[in-house]
Every structure is written in structure tokens, then in C-alpha cells.
Amino acid sequence: MKTHRSFRFRFCRPICLAVLWVGLPRIAAADSPTGPACESEVFGRLPDQREVRRFSLDNGAGLRVQVMEYGATITGIFVPDRNRRVTNVVLGSDRFEDYLAGRVPAASVIGRFANRIAGARFTLDGTTYTLAANSGTNHIHGGPQGFAKRLWQGEALPRSEDGVVGVRFTYRSADGEEGYPGNLVVSVSLLLTPRGELQLQYAASTDRPTVVNLTNHAYFNLAGGGDVMNHELWLAAEQYTPTDASLIPTGATATVVGTPLDFLETTRLGARMDRLPPPYTGYDHNFVLGDPTPRPRLVARLRDPAGGRTMEVLTTEPGVQLYTGNHVQHRGVCLETQHYPDSPNQPAFPSCVVRPGAPFESETVFRFKVR
């Protein structure tokens, strides 16, 4: 397998999880009299009494973002609609206890490997590694104590001359954590800029060969409530990866044309959901976007026709998992940009192997507009 490609990004600062705002009517300056700002507060405490801070970012033009150190989790993206009504467009809670107890879907960073690994094991350079089996006999989302349940270290970034505010999160995953080899240092930053995009930039470096697949598991609801069945989706994917009954890819790819997975033309999420075969109760499919790219390209557009909020997705990643919140009554939809499920066991899939001296880097952009 080839080593994961390393990309050079437009920003010189360490890997970023960035949030920017585009295409929305500007709110009066009085809404944010001090301009772009970043503030922090103690959001809660872990059982061992370690503090969990939440950072609040304001771009000075009507967009606010909140993100906490536990799981590097976005707790709020507050977005106006066509009538300038502002609501949180990600599922979550304003109570830390709800996250700690797992009572709410969390827009957390997922790792060390997002999605599923068959049999909770993989072989790398002749050595087989056994992982936690937390999805039947399979491994999912980095294990029961994956990155989403770890305390990251947050650091506010200085405001740039062009008004960018942000926060950087760092986590050190020890060799053997959840069964993965190598000490891994992960950096994720969230930047809020006046330009109007939500950029997620990730990096990870290791001292031993390992596998890495990072994403954010945000459940978006652009209406701010209800279900997402009337959300409209365009997805630039002509193929997907078929799976077995346990949602493990077979290793093949297949066309979406003529199937309920065809979003090449804008379609309501609920329009063909009842045509999905068992075991699916909604969408939970990996779509093929092509080889990883040096710069993000437009791959998806999600829209709430009632309020006009629109989110475009751009990414360097080769795949996107469409998940319609099937276990939460379709109250949110995830567009998880990532490598394909079970990539460590599928030599035909784009490689997720990371080696010393060749760090993992990827970028995803969520661009919000009103139409």
C-alpha cells in the first residue's frame, strides 16, 4: 500500500479546523461591537475534576461558533436564515453533562480511525494489530474511548490582521491506545474568518507506522429543528462502496445511477429512503469522491428550502459518509469526509497508512450561504 499523501495547505500555521462565513447578509456592526473575538470559559469538569474549556468565536458579522476541549467538539454553529433568524445548525447541548453521559449526538473529532474496521484487526508491515470490538465483532470510530471522548488541549490563536480568530486543539495518543501502534500527535484548529467558510484542517505525526482516518461527526440540521427529510442534497459521487450486512465494504465499487444513492441531481433526503434495502433504515453509505487532492474541491451541497440556509462541502478526502441520523429519528445529517471504511484491510482503497516523517494532513470546508 502507498503511504498516505501529505498535502501542503494554504495556511502556514499548524493544522487547522477552520470556520469561516460566506454569502450571508451582513448583520449590523452593533451585533458585535468589538469585531472578531475569541473568548473561553469553563464548560464543565470530568469525573477526575479536570476542567473542560469551551471557546466562543465571533467573526463580528453575525456568525458564532462554540467548540470545547472534550472531543474537540463543536457545540454550536449559529447561522442566520433568509429572514436573519439565527439558530444552531448542529445537534448538541448547552450542558456539558449531556455530552459526558452520551445523551446528545456530538460534533466531535473522530479517530484514530473513523468508521469501521472489519474484525477489529488489521495487518501492517507483516504485524497484525487487534483493536477494540465495539460494533459487534468490528471496530468503529477509534474504539469505545476514541478521540471523541478524550480531553484535548485548547489554545486560543492570536487574531490575524485580516480578522481571523481561532483555537487550536492538540491530543497525544499513546502507542497501543485502543490497540493502534505508534505514539501519535494530532493537531486540529478551528478558525473563524470574515470570508465565510468552515475549514477543518487536520494533521497527525507518528513515531511508528500506523493507520489514521480523521473526520468530524457533526449532525447538521439547517432548519434548527425537526427532521432533515426535506433537506435537499447534491453529491458529486458517481460511485459508492457496497457493504455486507454488518456495513463492512466488500472491496468493490458500484454505480449510484438508478439507485436510491443517486444524488447527482439535487434530491430530498427523504425522497427515496424507503427504497433502501435491509439493514438500512436510512442512509449510512460511503460515497467515492476520487483520489485525495492537494486542495479541497466541491463535493456536496445541502439546503433547507424552508429557511434558505445552504451548506457546501469541499474536501481533499477521497470519500464522504452520508449518515442521516438513523438512530436519532433523522434529526440531523452527517457528511463525514474521510477515507473509506475498512481501508486498512482493503488494498484497492486509497491508503490510510501514516509513517514517521510523512504526516497525515487533510482539509475539509463547510461553506454556508443563504438562498
pLDDT at 161: 87
pLDDT at 160: 87
> How many domains does the structure of the chain reveal?
1
pLDDT at 6: 42
Q: Of the listed 69, 312, 317, 336, which one is catalytic? A: 336
Note whether residue 120 is domain-resident: yes
Q: Which residues of the chain have pLDDT under 70?
A: 1-34
pLDDT at 62: 77
Q: Of the listed 139, 217, 231, 339, which one is catalytic? A: 217
Full domain range(s) for residue 177: 19-370
Whether 217 is a known active-site residue: answer yes
Note whether residue 6 is domain-resident: no
Whether 336 is a known active-site residue: answer yes
pLDDT at 334: 98
What CA–CA distance (Å, rounded) separates 143 from 138? 10
Tens-digit pLDDT profile for residues 10-63:
444 343 333 333 333 333 333 444 578 889 999 999 999 999 999 998 888 778
Give the domain CATH number at 143.
2.70.98.10
Note whether residue 80 is domain-resident: yes
pLDDT at 227: 98
Tens-digit pLDDT profile for residues 111-135:
999 999 999 999 999 999 999 999 9
Task: Name the helix (H) or strand (E) containing 101.
Answer: none
What CA–CA distance (Å, rounded) separates 338 from 109? 12
The answer to whether 66 touches 74, Cβ cutoff 8 Å, is yes
Conformation bin of residue 48: beta by default, left when phi > 0, alpha when psi is -120 to 50: alpha
pLDDT at 60: 81
Note whether residue 7 is domain-resident: no
